[in-house]
Structure 1
Amino acid sequence: MDEDLKRLGEAVAAARKAKGWSLRQFALHAELAESTVARVDSGRAGASPTAYEHMEQALGWQPGTIAAILNGSVSVVDGSSTPPGTDLGA
């Protein structure tokens, strides 16, 4: 498994669970197919930039958070709206 996708999956799953959402509920909030969010949530596969935008919006993350997680500049997300160590507005 790709380490970047695994890190993203862990972050997305933690944020989803912090909101108390099932995969189905997350998919509904993100307006995406459940299979898409399941692949990302499990760390098995990535998604399109548009899908990532929908996920960020649903989770209350700042735009670019998923890119930051994938490139390793953010390694832990606790479910808050602004992941620790993220300075995306600079």
Structure 2
Amino acid sequence: MRSSNGINSRPVVSQKCLKSSSALLSVSGPEPCRGLGAVLLGELTLSTVLTLLIIPPMLSLLEHTLEKDRLHNQDLKSRPGLAEAAE
């Protein structure tokens, strides 16, 4: 984009912003790059913790609860007197 005076009006992106490793780990560089790097690093850390430490136990609890309900329903259906009372 050129303005009427012939000067490019589009902001120039720093090379450090384009390199993910330097944007995440570099202390020097423009302020927006450091802020963006901190946000990305925090987001990656949080998603890793959720994926590895929180979600598997929650799925295990859910599976255990569903299996317990399934066995309970099978038990009710196998008893002739309780099947009619449960429905």
TM-score tier (shorter): under 0.3
Larger Cα-atom Rg:
2
TM-score when normalising by structure 1? 0.23
TM superposition score normalised by structure 2: 0.23
User: Which structure is richer in relative contact order (CA contacts within 8 A, separation 6 or more)?
Assistant: 1
